[in-house]
């Protein structure tokens, strides 16, 4: 069963505070819609790594356990609708086009739709809040590679639809506020299950990445893990003030892949739960702040695997929600689009941030967030002022 296509977008006819942009690209990872999609999807994700189909079938068991369908596509459509609603409520005519790196609608499909509606300059909003190779540069590389295949990539960037990108937004007030709301909901749910909310530990969870990718991400002004730690401190502090009791917290990781010999960020959420249970911890709220929606890494790695670990350890555990389509998050995304538009118009902009880290760059630096530290990929990447390699 496939996801129903979104209604076609149209170019605005009135002046807009989103100028110079005439379209918004909601740019995501993608996921299968049915069992027949699973292995082809995983081939796309692992392209160039030489992984045999037999191994991909094993990895695909996570998807087959959910009927071969990832929740991500429907969640992206829900976010697209929420963005359109927020834009309309502000009187902003800006069509929203959805595209994915690894499944339909692909990047090429999105560019075609942008051309069909007459878009000339689009702003890309990536469904990853943090700065790293897989959360930022890989999307910019994919845009450049697809444009090159279409014969639309010149020395200065796109010769067709031009693209800028919204900055990494992990420390934007809207993202943080929505996560605080989700954590508070999690503590209420824990109390409803009979857990001791005042004694519960808050464990933030994000997608693990290789250590060398973590090191490469420091070029962005703070490494991937430092970005999470900064936002985690802020969320825990605000939650503590509202709950009126201390909130102890830690950061854990999930969804690592690759050979066991390759170091990835740790601790794994299951290992951390096991260790803390051995120290006497009995109540846990897991908050997936590394993800913007409840897609497969959340549905399997947390809701299935980590919750099973907690149950085996005798813990009372709940999983807090993601930001999804929560009002502060959607409102914040539209604020970010308008902020990026003002920057593109050459205006002085007070970029809204919370926490201790500065706003991240709207125009990425050359060799920003490489896959491996100190190893330029040689793959061009669109970056808002042309190409950066």
The set of long-range contacts for 296-299, using a CB threshold of 8 Å and a minimum separation of 24, is 296/31, 296/62, 296/63, 296/66, 296/70, 296/71, 296/72, 297/207, 297/254, 297/255, 298/322, 299/66, 299/71
The pTM (predicted TM-score) of the whole model is: 0.94
For 186, 285, 315, 318, the CA distances from 193, given in Å and listed in that order, are: 11, 12, 11, 9
Residues 204 and 115: their CA atoms lie apart, in Å, by 40
Q: Taking the mean position of all CA atoms in its chain, how far away is CA 117?
A: 27
Residues 203 and 32: their CA atoms lie apart, in Å, by 29
What one-character-per-residue DSSP string does 284-338 give? EEEE-TT-SS--HIIIIIIIIIIHHHHHHTT-EEEE----TT-HHHHHHHHHHHH
Picking from 351, 340, 380, the residue whose alpha carbon sits closest to that of residue 165 is 340
What pLDDT shows up at residue 1? 47
In the block, which residue shows the tokens 């590679």? 145
What pLDDT shows up at residue 104? 97
What pLDDT shows up at residue 153? 93
In the block, which residue shows the tokens 């459509």? 77
Picking from 4, 45, 53, the residue whose alpha carbon sits closest to that of residue 28 is 45
Average pLDDT of the chain to the nearest whole number: 93
Q: Is 96 helix (H, G, I), strand (E, B) or coil?
A: strand
Residues 200 and 185: their CA atoms lie apart, in Å, by 14
Per-residue confidence of the chain (389 residues) as pLDDT tens digits? 456 556 566 655 556 899 999 999 999 999 999 999 999 999 999 998 888 999 999 989 999 999 999 999 999 999 999 999 999 999 999 999 999 999 999 999 999 999 999 999 999 999 999 999 999 999 999 999 999 999 999 988 899 999 999 999 999 999 999 999 999 999 999 999 999 999 999 999 999 999 999 999 998 789 999 999 999 999 999 999 999 999 999 999 999 987 888 999 999 999 999 999 999 999 999 999 999 999 999 999 999 999 999 999 999 999 999 999 999 999 999 999 999 999 999 999 999 999 999 999 988 877 888 888 888 878 889 876 666 66
How many CA atoms within 13 Å lie on the side-chain side of 13? 1
Inter-axis angle of helices 173-192 and 327-344, nearest 10: 170
Residues 100 and 332: their CA atoms lie apart, in Å, by 22
Q: Is 372 helix (H, G, I), strand (E, B) or coil?
A: coil
């Amino acid at each position: 069963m496939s996801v129903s296509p979104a209604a076609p977008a149209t170019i605005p006819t009135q002046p807009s505070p989103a100028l110079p942009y005439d379209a918004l690209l909601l740019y995501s990872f993608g996921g299968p819609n049915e069992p027949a999609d699973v292995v082809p999807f995983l081939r796309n994700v692992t392209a160039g790594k030489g992984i045999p189909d037999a191994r991909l079938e094993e990895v695909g068991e996570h998807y087959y356990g959910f009927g071969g369908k990832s929740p991500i596509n429907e969640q992206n459509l829900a976010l697209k609708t929420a963005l359109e609603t927020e834009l309309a409520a502000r009187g902003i005519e800006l069509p929203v086009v959805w595209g994915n790196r690894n499944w339909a609608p692909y990047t090429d499909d999105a560019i075609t739709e942008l051309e069909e509606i007459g878009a000339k300059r689009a702003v890309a909003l990536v469904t990853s809040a943090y700065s790293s190779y897989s959360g930022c540069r890989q999307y910019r590389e994919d845009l450049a590679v697809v444009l090159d295949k279409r014969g639309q990539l010149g020395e200065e960037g796109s010769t067709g639809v031009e693209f800028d990108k919204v900055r990494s937004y992990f420390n934007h007030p809207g993202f943080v506020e929505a996560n605080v709301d989700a954590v508070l909901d999690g503590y209420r749910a824990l109390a409803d299950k009979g857990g001791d909310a005042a004694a519960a530990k808050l464990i933030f969870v994000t997608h693990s990445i290789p250590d060398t990718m973590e090191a490469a991400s420091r070029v962005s002004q703070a490494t991937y893990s430092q970005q999470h730690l900064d936002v985690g401190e802020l969320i825990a502090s605000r939650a503590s003030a509202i709950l009126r009791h201390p909130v102890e917290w830690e950061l854990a990781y999930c969804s690592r892949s690759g050979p066991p010999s390759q170091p990835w960020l740790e601790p794994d959420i299951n290992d951390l739960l096991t260790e803390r249970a051995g120290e006497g911890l009995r109540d846990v709220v897991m908050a997936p702040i590394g993800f913007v929606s409840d897609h497969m890494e959340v549905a399997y790695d947390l809701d299935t695997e980590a919750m099973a670990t907690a149950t085996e350890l005798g813990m009372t555990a709940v999983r807090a929600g993601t930001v999804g389509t929560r009002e502060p998050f959607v409102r914040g995304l539209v604020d970010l689009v308008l902020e990026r538009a003002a920057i593109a118009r050459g205006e002085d902009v007070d970029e809204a941030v919370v926490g201790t880290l500065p706003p991240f760059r709207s125009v990425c630096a050359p060799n920003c967030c490489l896959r491996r530290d100190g190893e330029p990929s040689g793959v061009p990447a669109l970056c808002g002022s042309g190409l950066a390699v």
